[in-house]
Structure 1
Amino acid sequence: MMPDLGKYAEAVLSSYAVSIALLVVLVWMSLRRAKRVNKQLEDVESKVKRNG
């Protein structure tokens, strides 16, 4: 199913690997930031409820 890449196989496959790794890192960073922002929002909302 994989096409014959000839002498460029290493370059193409390493480019795919780097691209996939960068996508994984970006998703991980986004999820981590979303969790942090959600926690901050919950903190602000609880302060507002307490202070009325």
Structure 2
Amino acid sequence: MMPDLGKYAETVLSAYAVSLVLIVVLVLLSLRRGHKVKAQLEAVEKKVRKNG
């Protein structure tokens, strides 16, 4: 199933590995930021409901 990459195998596989790690990091950062923004929004909405 794996194609023969010849002398470029190490380069190609390391590029795939780095890309995969970066994608995972970006997803995790996005999820963390989303939770933070959601909490901030809920706090603002709670304040508006209390005053409004």
Q: Structure 1 length normalisation: TM-score?
A: 0.98
C-alpha RMSD over aligned residues: 0.4
Shift of 1:26: 0.4
> Any gaps of 5 or more consecutive residues in structure 2?
none
> Any gaps of 5 or more consecutive residues in structure 1?
none
Asked if residue 46 in structure 1 is aligned to residue 46 in structure 2, the reply is yes
Shift of 1:11: 0.2
The structure 1 segments of at least 4 consecutive aligned residues displaced by more than 6 Å after TM superposition are: none
Shift of 1:14: 0.1
Q: Distance in 1 between matches of 2:21 and 2:38?
A: 26
1:21 corresponds to which residue?
21
For the residue of structure 2 that corresponds to 1:30, the secondary structure is helix
Percent identity over the alignment is: 69
For the residue of structure 2 that corresponds to 1:24, the secondary structure is helix
Q: Distance in 2 between matches of 1:46 and 1:31?
A: 22
Q: Distance in 1 between matches of 2:42 and 2:3?
A: 51
Asked if residue 10 in structure 1 is aligned to residue 26 in structure 2, the reply is no
